[in-house]
């Protein structure tokens, strides 16, 4: 009885999923202009429910982004954190506090070496060289879907993370997503 019930449930689920509401959207287009249309399927012909089932043969490649704290939540010198490596809390009023990363371990010299080499120290940033060689970060909240990176299309900067930061370094990058063109400032 249990096996029969499982088979009936499987058949019912398969029948429901075969409906067009659960398949990638399609339309008939006359590609050769000979009067005969061909069925073309894709995300551009789908509604939101159908779009989740469409294959993406060449997905966009996004650069990896570090999740950084908002500038007003970054570590600063306080009464209980007296480290001279941390900036004073006055940077919070201008949202100019730098990101501080702690490296720890039993071997202090190895930890310091690793920390120095984790991020580039050069100010030479050229977005046309591609973004893969750069450490980028954002304080933008992550999304449920990985298809669109919120840091690249929402308000707020994308940070170019370096081991030694220069003052007032800014640049911009352009990203095209289908018909959408995004211009993004980088700090």
Kindly report, residue by residue over 24-60, the tens digit of the pLDDT: 888 988 877 888 888 888 888 888 888 888 887 777 6
3-class SS at 27? Answer: strand
Q: What is the pLDDT of residue 156?
A: 72
Q: Other C-beta atoms within 10 Å of 149: how many?
A: 22
Q: What is the pLDDT of residue 10?
A: 95
Map tokens 């659960």 to a residue: 22
Look up the pTM and report it. Answer: 0.53
4 found inside a domain: no
DSSP annotation of 79: S
Same domain, 36 and 109: no
Q: Which residues contact 85 (CB under 8 A, 6 or more apart)?
A: 100
90-134 pLDDT per residue, tens: 888 887 788 877 777 788 888 888 777 777 666 555 555 556 667
Same domain, 46 and 80: no
11 found inside a domain: no
Which helix H or strand E contains 48, and what residues bound it? Answer: helix 48-51
16 found inside a domain: no
Last residue of a domain, one of 6, 38, 58: 58
6 found inside a domain: no
- Cα separation of 172 and 26, whole Å? 37
């Amino acid at each position: 009885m249990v096996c029969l019930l499982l088979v009936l449930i499987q058949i019912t689920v398969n029948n429901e999923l075969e409906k067009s509401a659960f398949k990638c959207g399609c339309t008939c287009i006359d590609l050769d202009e000979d009067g005969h249309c061909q069925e073309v399927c894709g995300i551009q012909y789908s509604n939101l429910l159908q779009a989740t089932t469409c294959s993406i043969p060449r997905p966009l490649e996004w650069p990896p982004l570090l999740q950084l704290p908002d500038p007003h939540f970054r570590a600063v010198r306080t009464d209980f954190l007296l480290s001279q490596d941390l900036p004073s809390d006055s940077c919070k009023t201008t949202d100019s506090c730098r990101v501080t990363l702690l490296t720890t371990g039993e071997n202090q010299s190895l930890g310091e070496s690793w920390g120095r080499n984790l991020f580039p120290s050069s100010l030479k940033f050229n977005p046309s060289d591609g973004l893969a060689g750069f450490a980028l970060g954002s304080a933008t909240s992550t999304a449920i879907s990985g298809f669109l990176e919120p840091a690249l299309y929402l308000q707020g900067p994308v940070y170019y993370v370096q081991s030694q930061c220069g003052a007032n370094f800014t640049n911009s990058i352009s990203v095209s997503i289908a018909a959408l063109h995004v211009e993004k400032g980088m700090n």
